[in-house]
Amino acid sequence: MNGPAPILAQTGMSFAAFKRQVRIPINDMPAYSERMLSDKELMDIFVFVRSLPGRRPVKDFPILNN
């Protein structure tokens, strides 16, 4: 739970894999039951994270090459 969690913006995961991680997570991520987070809500989250701007070309950020 202390380590950085993976990046989900523009995730290439399928919804099924996404859902599996949320319902029966590997390692230390808390598990969300259907009671707490319905499939519908989960789908909304999935759509949301996929819509987030993902990576951008590093060359556009000179300050990342210091």
Partner 1 sequence: MSKRNREGTIGRRGFLKGASVAGAALGAASPSAAQPAAAPAAKNPVPLPDIAAETLPPLADPVHQSSGGGDFMLDVLKTLNFDYVTQTPASTFRGLHEAIINYGMNKQPELLSCTHEEIAVAMAHGYAKIEGTPLPVMVQSTVGLQHASMALYNAHCDQAPIYMIAGNTVDAAKRGFSFEWAHSAIDPAAVVRDYVKWDDQPGSLQHFAESAIRAYQIAMTPPMAPVLLSLDSELQENPIANRERLRIPRLPKTAPPQGDAAAVAETAQQLVGAQNPVIVADRMARTPQGMARLIELAELLQCPVVDTGGRSNFPNRHHLCQTGRSGALIAQADLVLGLELNDFFGTLHAFSDRIVRRMRQVSRPDARTISITARQLSPRANFQDFQRYQDVDLVIAADAEETLPSLIEQVRRLAGADRRSAFEARGKKLEAAYRAMVEQWKSDATIGWDASPITIARLCAELYDQIKDDDWSMVGNGNRVTWPRRLWNFDRHYRWIGSSGGSGIGYNAPASLGAALANRKYGRLSVAIQGDGDLMFCPGTLWTAAHHQIPILYVMHNNRAWHQELMYLQAMSNRRDRGMLNAHIGTTISDPNIDFAMLAKSMGVHSEGPITDPKDLAPALRRALAVVRKGQPALVDAIVESR
Q: Which residues here bind partner 1, judged by CB under 8 A?
A: 1-2, 4, 7, 9, 27-28, 30-33, 35-36, 52-58, 60-61, 63-66
> Which of partner 1, ligand HEM, none has residue 31 at its interface (CB below 5 to 8 Å by kind)?
partner 1
| Relative orientation angle of helices 39-51 and 15-23, to the nearest 10 degrees | 120
Closest CA to 22 of 4, 52, 46, 58: 46
Closer by beta carbon to partner 1, 16 or else 56: 56
Neighbour-count burial of 30, counting CB atoms closer than 10 A to its CB (0-12 exposed, 13-18 middle, 19+ buried): exposed
Q: What residues make contact with ligand HEM under the rule CB under 6 A?
A: 1, 3, 5-6, 8, 13, 18, 21-22, 26-30, 32, 45
